[in-house]
Structure 1
Amino acid sequence: MAPKQQSSLIPLTKRLRLPPASRPEKALVSLDLPKGEKEQQEAIEHIDEVQNEIDRLHEQVSEEILKVEEKYNKLCQPFFQKRSELIAKISNFWVTTFVNHPQVSALLGEEDEEVLHYLTRVDVTGFEDIKPGYRIDFYFDKNPYFKNKVLSKESHLNESGDPPSKSTEIKWKTGKDLMKCSSQMQSKASRKRQHEEPESFFTWVNGHCDAAADELGEVVKDDIWPNPLQCYLVSDMDDEEGVGEEEDDDDEEEEGLEDVDEERDEDEGEEDEGDDEGEEGEKDEGDD
């Protein structure tokens, strides 16, 4: 039985975080300024005062949004739980969902996919006090790759705005460390790469403070978690579209063949008329 979840995400709404306003120091309007410049300076000071009021309202809105999120996250919790129970009845649901998402599948090697066949549940939860951040939990059946039953990854913003993260240490079984194998292959293939990126799905899960990894976390949180069924069914929808396109192509080919047949009939008709005229001409000459 899975442990009780914390406050779940809806997913988390994009936070209304405004950078501290860099305001010009308020200066007294000089009486020596020309009339036009004096009016401009007064207008700037009034704009700054109005902007202060706008910023205060933005802060108030942010606080209200957090309260609403907290309320609806709690209301969504039983539905997330029910959805997870239903997903558990579908074999290979999560590996199919991840493979169907382009940004996630870009990090999936063959062995990554093999491991993800043992993935039975994914949970995305927010912190209890709705601080900016979230945790992703990956639940696995017993498998030949590692001993962990749950792999967790947390991402949160600190006061400086940097996105640190922490994750569960993966206890790989002997000879099954995919991170080590992936690192060796990647270092040989791209020694000149300037930007550090996750080399595989599990280097992302186990990584820390990597910008690209955090982007992938946002993908899981905002793209996949709200409606994983949509990603799961992508291949089926593509197949249906493909069938429709093939039928359209067949119809076009049939129409093309019909047009060719009609043209041939018309040409044959013209040839028959020409032959009849020739025969009549020969008869008339014979009569003369």
Structure 2
Amino acid sequence: MSESGASPAKIKKLDPTEEVHETREYDPETQKALEEIDSCQNEIDQLNEKASEEILKVEQKYNKLRKPNFENRSKIIQRIPNFWVTAFVNHPQISAILEEEEEECLHYLTKLDVEEFDDIKSGYRIKFHFDENPYFENEVLTKEFHLGSTGDPASQSTDIKWKEGHNLVERFRQRMQQGEKGGTGRKRPLELRSFFSWFSDHGDPSADEIAEVIKDDMWPNPLQYFLVPDIEVENGEGDDDEEELEDEEVDDNVVVVEEEIEEVDEEGVEEEEEEEAPGEEDGEADE
């Protein structure tokens, strides 16, 4: 709201292209209350702005503190063969756009970095480090996202220097033109694209789901995706078949027990009838 003290009764928020055709009038008491609310709201807005500045400083501080830990983690990860490609394949959203040939290419991915700009709200960059491979010449592929308030959101990425006959983006386009769904058999998203076509795409940086997944989910804790199969086993997933078999065995036993009970009951009834029969004859004899 304005800090000039303008009365809310005289302000009507409309589309900038429209004109104000009327103003609402309030009784003096209501008008005074609205002006007081406007004043309170201005103070709240100022505190919110101050809070945003303080939060930004804290984020910047802890980004610097976390950096040595991320660097140490990267060194340790490099000791594990195929760490990143395994994590990518186990991630539901990333694997959904990962072609079979791209998966082979990502076996050469040795390091992943996510670097936020000093002004965190202004954007970030994702860096993929590769060993020498048969697909392209680049050692590092970088994609940057500029999301600052000045100007429209934009992104840019490294120009991939594909080796002859190994342009995975072009191969994917050819398959799509031929109507194929990709070699992995995975469920494809509605917006058909592959991992490297995503890397080269700059359509809408402010709504890039894959980039956000890598920055906010994969990068903070990739270990959880590398260990997905092991975690499922530890949590008991996959034991449903054994439980079903046990249930079936229990059900069979219950049926057998019930049959035995019925047999016992029938024998008991027959014995009781036999015992009662002599008594009845005695009674008739006495009479």
Q: TM-score range by the shorter chain?
A: 0.7 to 0.9
Structure 1 residues 212-234: Cα deviation after superposition (integer angstroms, max 9, x where no partner): 87221111111111111112222
Within 5 A, what are the aligned runs for 1:147-186?
A: 147-160=137-150, 162-186=152-176
Contact kept? 1:163, 1:209, Cα under 8 Å: no
* Aligned pair partner of 1:266 in 255, 261, 265: 261
Name the counterpart of 1:95: 85
Do residues 201 (structure 1) and 195 (structure 2) align?
A: yes
Which amino acid in 2 is paired with 1:263?
E
**Cα drift, residue 123 of structure 1:** 0.7
Name the counterpart of 1:253: 248
* Aligned pair partner of 1:104 in 94, 101, 106: 94
Name the counterpart of 1:64: 54
Which amino acid in 2 is paired with 1:214?
D
Q: Distance in 1 between matches of 2:31 and 2:83?
A: 63
**Cα drift, residue 92 of structure 1:** 1.6
**Cα drift, residue 278 of structure 1:** 9.3
Are the structure 2 counterparts of residues 90 and 259 from structure 1 closer, same or farther at C-alpha, using a change threshold of 3 Å?
Answer: same
Instruction: Report percent identity of matched pairs.
Output: 50
Which amino acid in 1 is paired with 2:31?
Q
Name the counterpart of 2:224: 230
Query: TM-score under structure 1 normalisation?
Result: 0.76
Q: Distance in 2 between matches of 1:198 and 1:85?
A: 35
Do residues 73 (structure 1) and 63 (structure 2) align?
A: yes
Q: Distance in 1 between matches of 2:115 and 2:206?
A: 20
RMSD between superposed Cα atoms in Å: 3.5
Are the structure 2 counterparts of residues 263 and 150 from structure 1 closer, same or farther at C-alpha, using a change threshold of 3 Å?
Answer: same
Contact kept? 1:153, 1:165, Cα under 8 Å: yes
- Unaligned stretches of 5+ residues in structure 1: 1-20, 284-288
Name the counterpart of 1:7: none
Are the structure 2 counterparts of residues 277 and 39 from structure 1 closer, same or farther at C-alpha, using a change threshold of 3 Å?
Answer: closer
Name the counterpart of 1:26: 6
Which amino acid in 2 is paired with 1:103?
Q
Are the structure 2 counterparts of residues 79 and 243 from structure 1 closer, same or farther at C-alpha, using a change threshold of 3 Å?
Answer: same
Q: Point out which structure has higher relative CO (alpha carbons under 8 A, 6+ apart).
A: 1
**Cα drift, residue 60 of structure 1:** 0.9
Are the structure 2 counterparts of residues 280 and 73 from structure 1 closer, same or farther at C-alpha, using a change threshold of 3 Å?
Answer: same
Q: Distance in 1 between matches of 2:122 and 2:271?
A: 91
Are the structure 2 counterparts of residues 161 and 266 from structure 1 closer, same or farther at C-alpha, using a change threshold of 3 Å?
Answer: farther
Query: TM-score under structure 2 normalisation?
Result: 0.77
Contact kept? 2:132, 2:139, Cα under 8 Å: yes
Q: Distance in 2 between matches of 1:214 and 1:36?
A: 47
How many corresponding residue pairs? 258
- Unaligned stretches of 5+ residues in structure 2: 11-24, 181-188, 279-287
Are the structure 2 counterparts of residues 22 and 135 from structure 1 closer, same or farther at C-alpha, using a change threshold of 3 Å?
Answer: farther
Q: Distance in 2 between matches of 1:25 and 1:186?
A: 60
Which amino acid in 2 is paired with 1:221?
K
* 1:242 partner SS: coil
Q: Distance in 2 between matches of 1:79 and 1:37?
A: 62
Q: Larger radius of gyration, structure 1 or 2?
A: 2
* 1:173 partner SS: coil
**Cα drift, residue 182 of structure 1:** 1.5
* 2:149 partner SS: coil
Within 5 A, what are the aligned runs for 1:118-129?
A: 118-129=108-119
Which amino acid in 2 is paired with 1:249?
E
Q: Distance in 1 between matches of 2:130 and 2:267?
A: 79
